[in-house]
Amino acid sequence: MDKIEVIEVFFNKQKLGRIALTEQEICAFEYDSDFIKTGFSLSPYHLPLRSGLFVAPRTPFRGNFGVFDDSLPDGWGSLLLDRYLRSKGIEAEKLSILQRLALVGTTGRGALEYFPDKSVSDETAFIDLNNLAAEAEKALTTEYVGEGLEDLYKYGGSSGGARPKVFVSIENRQWLIKFKATTDPQDIGKTECEYSLLAKKCGIVMPETRLFENKYFGVERFDRTDDGKIHTISAAGLLHADYRVPSLDYSVLLKVCLNLTKNMEEVYSLFKQMVFNVVISNRDDYAKNFSFQYKNNQWTLSPAYDILPSAGFNGYHTTTINGQGEPKMKDILQVAVGAGLSDRSVKTIIEQVIENCRQQGMQNYKM
């Protein structure tokens, strides 16, 4: 790829700022002067809305700001990107952060768009899911660089997480559809769909979910609407928390939720998600599995996602509960007290989640 000196960042067709690299290959960002007059802070704790130059810390995102790192692929998306570039004779490890953002271009998660746009993704057409699942399996189990690699990259190159996935348009709605990873059971799609329905029954705000071809779990994208894209930032990006290792506690996450949204109802929603994760043993609750969105001039908690029984870091919850990776009821209650939640509401939430999970035979952890 050609060297890129500056990336211009846009939001809803409005230029909001630009990114360049320092001599130490660290990102420097400044807001556009017009955006400062009418815009909002992309990342309130690290990029407050004001004039001047911001320089990213070296860690945890290798010299990038968390909000822009959220746009970059990781896990499955990184695998596809590296394979795709290799097939084009490009050494992925030599790409700068700016070149990687240009490859995301206008196709990344959330609402931020990067120019020059070097993306090749396509979210507009329906595809043969069975064929793409077979291609994904080849990519996971071999050094596959065949004809299907370009399609895999086109539909899933900007994605994150470990499991193979694609972004597709079906009946004019944008979906993220997941395939089985190498270590997943054959019915993983059905399992995730069942837990998404259980979460809704417990009162957790979820996107629309569906089982495609009776085996592929799909979730409607909550960063896309008829009115445009929605700015979304993960807890990892917001707090500059390293999502690769345990770096967050629910007690901190709940306080951040209140500080950002200024809404106790959002805090109760997040607490309910925490209780649900504990009861079903979703221990892969790392810092990228919680997000916030800027809508109608205010911050809100995003719908829940990636909710199903999963092993966490060394078998424990990746986001700890009162400092514990193997929490007891007293730890959940202590987190509630620290967040200023009422005893009565907390008791109701815990009882309802446990009872709903028990009735469905999906209570996997007893506190």
Domain 129-224 has CATH 3.30.200.120: yes
| pTM, full prediction | 0.95
CA 324 to chain centre: 23
Q: Which of 40-44, 76-80, 203-207 has the weakest average pLDDT?
A: 76-80
The stretch 224-252 carries a mean pLDDT of 95
> What percent of the chain lies above the pLDDT cut of 70?
97
Q: Which sequence spans correspond to the domains of the chain?
A: 6-75+84-115, 129-224, 230-359
pLDDT of 123: 54
As beta bridge partners, residue 7 has 19
280 and 247 Cβ atoms separated by less than 8 Å: no
Sequence-ordered list of residues with C-beta below 8 angstroms from that of 159, at least 6 positions apart, any chain: 73, 75, 76, 77, 80, 109, 165, 166, 167, 176
CA 336, CA 254: separation in Å to the nearest integer?
A: 9
The stretch 311-321 carries a mean pLDDT of 94
Sequence-ordered list of residues with C-beta below 8 angstroms from that of 24, at least 6 positions apart, any chain: 58, 63
Q: Name which of 272, 178, 269 is nearest 218 in CA terms.
A: 178
pLDDT of 95: 94
* 189 pLDDT tier (thresholds 50, 70, 90): very high
The stretch 287-296 carries a mean pLDDT of 96
206 and 302 Cβ atoms separated by less than 8 Å: no
User: Cα separations (Å) of 143 from 81, 100, 201?
Assistant: 13, 22, 42
Q: Which of 155-159, 189-193, 313-317 has the weakest average pLDDT?
A: 155-159
Instruction: Specify the pairing of strand 224-225 against strand 228-229.
Output: antiparallel
The more confident residue out of 294 and 154 is: 294
Residue 148 has pLDDT above 80, yes or no: no
> What percent of the chain lies above the pLDDT cut of 90?
77
